[in-house]
Amino acid sequence: MNRILVATDGSEGADRAVDYAAGRAKDDGAELLIANIVGGYGLPNKVLMAFANDRSVLLKELLESQSAEILAAARERAHKAGAGAILLESRTGEVAHTIIDIAQEKQADAIVVGKRGAGRVAGALLGSVSQKLVILSPLPLTIIP
């Protein structure tokens, strides 16, 4: 295994996924790609994208800043867990599809996610990211409880 993608939203479940993926990357000598997708905040994707366009600079900067903070914390966590090479990726979009896009573009060998993220109410109504990935992922997928 050369590259493992772990997706994080900064939740406790995502932290467990980062810990697992970092340990696995360490054991396999693989790169760890940590991704945060700006989306899934209980807003329909079209609404979020409308707010995050260039005309809404303040909100866009706020979302980018939050994503950067989530990724920095995950990188520190992965480093402490022993991961070697760590790459970071932030994108905007529908979360499950964007995770798959990143995995394919960056040639990941596997995807790791937490069972439940930060959007519990939206997940219950719309289906969780992990459930969507089980159906859609073309790569091996590990879901951490």
Residue 57 maps to which CATH number?
3.40.50.620
Q: Would you say the C-alpha torsion 111, 128, 88, 94 has a positive or negative sign?
A: positive
pLDDT at 48: 57
Rounded to two decimals, the pTM is 0.85
φ, ψ for residue 111, nearest 5 deg:
-120, 140
- CB 5, CB 111: distance < 8 Å: yes
pLDDT at 139: 97
Q: pLDDT tens for the chain, 145 residues: list them.
A: 899 999 999 999 999 999 999 999 999 999 999 999 986 554 555 555 565 555 566 667 777 889 999 999 999 999 999 999 999 999 988 899 999 999 999 999 999 999 876 554 444 433 589 999 999 999 999 999 9
Q: What are the residues whose beta carbons fall under 8 Å from the beta carbon of 13, sequence distance 6 or more?
A: 114, 115, 116, 117, 144, 145
pLDDT at 121: 46
Tally of domains within the chain: 1
Q: Would you say the C-alpha torsion 34, 110, 16, 76 has a positive or negative sign?
A: negative
Helices (H), the chain: 12-28, 45-51, 57-80, 95-105, 120-126, 129-136
Domain extent, residue 140, equals 3-144
pLDDT at 62: 79
